[in-house]
Structure 1
């Protein structure tokens, strides 16, 4: 079974960790848009972590705050910074849960 993930980035979270987090969200949304499909949750999760790490230039880790110059709009204390704890605790789990919902809905439609 394949699932398209174009819709999992909407709506955006109501709360972010740092000011660079929405910019990473948008970058991932763009990266995943198009004709990409994944056969299962694990395949999607692996791709998500790899694409996110490639985007910021290093792996995510607990307690890490990473400065991304291209995400720096030039105002505010947390400008251009990614909060890895936000992504590990909220961002990635939200996207994975939404992907899982798409898979489950597709399976229900096929079953019915």
Structure 2
């Protein structure tokens, strides 16, 4: 059986950007269950950016935060997504896991 991208999402980060980011993490994990692990890190990054845009309707942009009602679970930042988290922590963590597989 071919490894799937979802395996890189199994262990969740300890620190998040905003309260909607864990729900987006879960959505990305679900969305990658059928996607085989790409041959290169560049291809993996492209997959992640494409899925980010498909799931949020937003382009991953430094300094940007936005609200996603489906990811609102309460709190002041509930439902908000922090692009800087994904650019600086979330996707680099996935990239590190890819490199160490």
Aligned residues: 100
Q: Secondary structure at the match of 2:9?
A: coil
4+ long deviations beyond 6 Å: none
TM-score, with length taken from structure 2: 0.90
Contiguous gaps of at least 5 residues in structure 2? none
| Pairing 1:98–2:86 present | no
Deviates more, 1:22-31 or 1:32-41: 32-41
TM-score, with length taken from structure 1: 0.82
Contiguous gaps of at least 5 residues in structure 1? 103-112
CA drift of 1:3 comes to 5.2
Between Structure 1 and Structure 2, whose CA radius of gyration is higher? 1
Instruction: Provide the rounded CA distance (Å) in 2 between the counterparts of 1:45 and 1:63.
Output: 19
Residues 33-75 of structure 1 show CA distances to partners (whole Å, capped at 9, x for unaligned) of 13523111111110111101111101011111110011112x2
Distance of aligned partners of 1:70 and 1:7 in 2 relative to their CA distance in 1, 3 Å threshold: same
